[in-house]
Homo-oligomer: A and B are copies of this chain.
């Protein structure tokens, strides 16, 4: 092994866009242009009645998704939108939530803070275990099921079309809402897009949570929900008495970037630069971790593995740190008492921000550490 001190830490622990993924120049241009055009409204409170979001941005997002603008609610990032949705949907008598296991750790923290009882359904390489979901539904129908069907964070798994159809069917039969979190959906590097759950359900029963963080800029903090118009209004009213409104300037910049085609061209660029990183990541994980690979992702930021090892997670992470590898604890992605398969640790490997050599080197080292510890 190379000595850890020879090189910087290999950072496997954060799913942020690499610098080159953000169209900084266009964002700067659009920021200057909108301040020049509408200086008086950019630094003011939003006009009364605009708590659903900047009207121009809502029009742009509605066009992007081919939905009525009434169905768009804009919040300060998609995490905040999820928090408002949880606040809106959960209550003392409506506390049951189903999620994939593993799932996005911050979503779990939000549900926990809102007093939810969370059940994790095992995630398979083509989406959550639908049979097990059906069994659970016979005894307990949740308020909502939270899923990231495309290139899931943390696993990279995409839900198959058959499972999508089955899930939408079950939501109709049993009467629960699906929260479809779709921040990576546009970042597909291989194959054709599958229909979204919202498209399959025709708008009923599915609330989509989306964001411009991965396709334009995370710093703008622009996330949004696509739901029925009543839910949009409820979210706006909750937002108004929580944080009042997202930053008007950020919303206006986002609207202009959508209108000027900056988002569309940036998505094209992202596919160009991230696709090869995904390809090399798949090769590296297959080479160094073998059949521990969870699923070869067709897009997004993440590849993951179930690593066979006898040691506990804390010992493993400490050993990795000593070798200059930072890794998020995989257990944080599981709602208790759900865990990875017995005898394995769940490993999330974000590939979007590392050069392929560093990624491969890190994965190789990770494999060696696991092997050494298991002797």
What is the interface of chain A, defined by CB distance below 8 A to chain B?
A: 14, 16-17, 19, 22, 24-25, 27-28, 31-32, 35-36, 39-46, 48, 76-77, 79-80, 83, 87, 106, 109-110, 113, 213, 217-221, 238, 240-250
Decide: B243 and A83 in contact? CB cutoff 8 A: yes
Complex CA–CA separation, A246 to B77 (angstroms): 10
Decide: A45 and B218 in contact? CB cutoff 8 A: yes
Would you mind naming 18 contact pairs between A and B with Cβ atoms under 8 Å apart? Answer: A16-B45, A19-B40, A19-B44, A27-B42, A28-B39, A32-B35, A43-B219, A44-B217, A80-B242, A87-B113, A106-B241, A113-B241, A113-B242, A220-B247, A221-B247, A247-B247, A247-B250, A250-B250
Decide: B220 and A43 in contact? CB cutoff 8 A: yes
Decide: A43 and B14 in contact? CB cutoff 8 A: no
* Most interface-central of A17, A27, A241 (chain B CB within 10 A): A241
Contacts of A17 in B (CB 8 A): 44-45
Complex CA–CA separation, A162 to B238 (angstroms): 38
Report A366 CB to chain B, min CB distance, Å.
20
Cβ-neighbour of A31 out of B16, B19, B35, B218 (below 8 A): B35
Complex CA–CA separation, A32 to B87 (angstroms): 37
Contacts of A24 in B (CB 8 A): 39-40, 42-43
Given A24-B40, A35-B28, A48-B14: A219 in contact with B248 (beta carbons within 8 A): yes
Contacts of A76 in B (CB 8 A): 76, 221, 243, 247
Contacts of A217 in B (CB 8 A): 43-44
Contacts of A36 in B (CB 8 A): 28
Contacts of A45 in B (CB 8 A): 16-17, 213, 218-219
Report A80 CB to chain B, min CB distance, Å.
4
Contacts of A19 in B (CB 8 A): 40, 44
Cβ-neighbour of A22 out of B43, B241, B247 (below 8 A): B43
A-B CB proximity, top 10 nearest? A80-B243, A109-B241, A43-B217, A43-B219, A45-B218, A24-B39, A28-B35, A219-B248, A16-B45, A27-B43
Report A233 CB to chain B, min CB distance, Å.
16
Decide: A221 and B241 in contact? CB cutoff 8 A: no
Complex CA–CA separation, A220 to B22 (angstroms): 22
Question: What 9 additional pairs, Cβ within 8 angstroms, besides A44-B219, A106-B241?
Answer: A16-B44, A17-B44, A24-B39, A27-B43, A44-B217, A76-B76, A220-B247, A221-B246, A249-B250
